[in-house]
Amino acid sequence: MAFTFDQAGRLTAPVATTFDSFMPASGVAQQQITLTIPTTSTATTKPFKVATQTQDGVAVGRLQGVTINEKGIVSASYSNGDTRALGQVAIVSFSNSAGLRQMGNSNWQATGLSGEPSFASSGENGAGSLMSGMIEGSNVDITEELVGLIAAQRNFQANSKALDTSNQITRSILDLRA
């Protein structure tokens, strides 16, 4: 990308560049970015300097932590006591979640079978709610599953011994005939 300016510092022709397309992790659609700099851009020969400075009365703060509330608002708290909202978590639902394609690493992609994504905030339009600071608990009772596994193993061993005994009896009967 080359810029050409005239004697007055005005850009002589618009400059545009297109970057390679990419697929975002959300899998929404292939993305293409084009950067266009219009001819209204000017260059000056003067060195850069700060013209004005203002002070808002708040001391410099370092990031202390990030929290997410029940509504999905992501907030940053700073050492100077300041708290700023950074954004909000969107909850996405599909009319047929079984139609999503698994991409690996807990990533899923929408398909024609899944339907269009429906975006909502926590607690709105049936999207469910967020529980900040919670770890999702397993819905499996490990003790019960282990007991079931041991019982299944015993049944398998009993069945295999019964088949082995049946085979031995059949061989003995065939040996008597011979």
pTM: 0.43
In this prediction, residue 154 carries a pLDDT of 94
In this prediction, residue 178 carries a pLDDT of 66
Give the domain ranges of the chain.
1-43, 62-133
Q: How far apart are CA 154 and CA 157, in angstroms?
A: 5
Under 8 Å between Cβ of 61 and 78: yes
β-bridge mates for residue 5, sequence order: 11
Both ends of the chain: CA-CA distance in Å? 94
Q: Could you read off the pLDDT tens digit of each residue along the chain, which spans 178 residues? A: 678 888 877 888 888 888 888 877 766 778 888 888 887 777 777 787 888 888 777 788 899 999 988 888 999 999 999 999 999 988 888 889 899 999 988 888 889 999 888 888 888 877 788 877 777 777 778 899 999 999 999 999 999 999 999 889 988 888 887 6
